[in-house]
Every structure is written in structure tokens, then in C-alpha cells.
């Protein structure tokens, strides 16, 4: 019984400490996701779009060059 009480007391503090170490600020959006993760996904998608545009431009340049 005593060990259960100690685990309950220490467990809460341990969760606070580990969340601080992992960078989990506890902030969540309506969907339950971390705002930093959402921002990183948007940035990654934008980079993918830009990269795709560059590939299209280079490809069309090569085709036009052959004509």
C-alpha cells in the first residue's frame, strides 16, 4: 500500500520532469496535435511543392531545348 502511494506521488512529478525534457509543452490544438508538429508538416509540404515546381521547370526546359 505504501509503495502505491509513493508511486502516485512520484509518478506525477516524474511526468512533469520528463515532459519538460522531451519538449512537450502540453499545448494541443482542437484535433489534439502539437502546434509545432502542424507547422513542421506545413513547411515540409511547401518544400515538396517548391521542389516539384523546380522539377517541372527543368523537365520542360529539357523538352524545349530538344525541339
**Cα separation of 35 and 43, whole Å?**
12
For range 51-66, the mean pLDDT:
85
- Mean pLDDT across the stretch 36-42? 93
With 0.75 as the threshold, say if the pTM is over it.
Answer: no
pLDDT at 56: 87
- Tens-digit pLDDT profile for residues 20-37: 555 555 677 677 888 999
Looking at residue 5, its pLDDT comes to 73
Q: What is the mean pLDDT of residues 38-44?
A: 94
E-state strands within 1-67: none
Q: Which residue has the cell 515540409?
A: 44
Q: Is-contact 35 41, C-beta < 8 A? A: no
Widest distance between CA atoms in the chain:
84
Grid coordinates representing 17?
Answer: 520532469
Amino acid at each position: 500500500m505504501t509503495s502505491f502511494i509513493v508511486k502516485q506521488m512520484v509518478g506525477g512529478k516524474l511526468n512533469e520532469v520528463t515532459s519538460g525534457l522531451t519538449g512537450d509543452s502540453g499545448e494541443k490544438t482542437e484535433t489534439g496535435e502539437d502546434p509545432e508538429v502542424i507547422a513542421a508538416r506545413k513547411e515540409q509540404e511547401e518544400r515538396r511543392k517548391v521542389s516539384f515546381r523546380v522539377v517541372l521547370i527543368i523537365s520542360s526546359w529539357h523538352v524545349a531545348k530538344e525541339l
